[in-house]
Amino acid sequence: MTDGISHGLSDGMTASSGGHRRSPVPVVLASASSARRATLAAAGVDARVAVSSVDEEDTVRRGQQRYDDLSSADIALLLARAKCEDVAAQIESDDPPAGMDADCLVLGCDSVLELDGRVHGKPGSPDVALARWRSMRGSQGVLHTGHWLIDVRAPEAGGTGATLGAVASTAVWFANIPDDELEAYVATGEPLNVAGAFTIDGLGGPFVDRLEGDPHNVVGVSLPVVRELLLELGLRWYDVRTR
């Protein structure tokens, strides 16, 4: 899938390369994920949240019709782009979300787990989560996170109108956990609404043996990828850092 896809936020006052102080460029996260928001916040970016109205299954179906063959990474990027574009359109509309700065950057992310050639998102129910983990345990998968960034700032605010994206992929090795531990974990409810049915920063952490790649990516947003996208807009991390 190549159409429109390329390889993309800071303190009430931040330092610019010239040593001056200026307000950060606001970032809006097009995701309801508290883990993504917390990851950005830990790196100094206090992103506002605006949730998209994207129907994921319909978006993937239409994408497959258009592009015919989508890889797991393509699906992650397709969904990230759709969510980012939906929120950007909300912000630029006549009725934008309350409290949103129109001169901002919109970041959309979406994660999927690739296991044995199949794509897995959020399981949604205990039965699906149990079945998923029974196939995952003792094996290795790849967590793909698509990132899409849209610059909706006005030209006088430094806006470029750019829209760009990239995918980060991290290999994950899962522990061969017994049924009783698996059932106890699923009973917590945590794996039901996270991509791949696991976390590394929560209750699922003990069941991940090792990673190869960016660990932030498994949480849901790759900070190095976001930095690279910002660089393509001519921005530095300090331009979006809020502290």
Buried b (16+ CB within 10 A) or exposed e, 89-126: ebbeeeeeeeebeeebbbbbbbbbbbbeeebbbbbeee
Q: What is the dihedral of CA 86, 92, 93, 95, to 10 degrees?
A: 100
User: H helices of 68-149, where?
Assistant: 72-92, 126-136
Residue 26 gets which letter from DSSP? P
Q: What 3 state SS string does 35-63 have?
A: HHHHHHHHCCCCCEECCCCCCHHHHHHHH
Closest CA to 28 of 149, 139, 188, 201: 149
User: Residue 12 carries which side chain, given as an amino acid letter?
Assistant: G
Coil/strand/helix, residue 95: coil
Q: Does 86 qualify as catalytic in the annotation?
A: no
Contact 51, 32 (CB under 8 A): yes
Closest CA to 218 of 194, 240, 186: 194
| Residue 124 zone, left/alpha/beta (φ > 0; ψ -120 to 50; rest) | left
Coil/strand/helix, residue 31: coil
> Which is catalytic among the residues 110, 151, 214, 239?
110
Question: Which residues does the annotation mark as catalytic?
Answer: 110
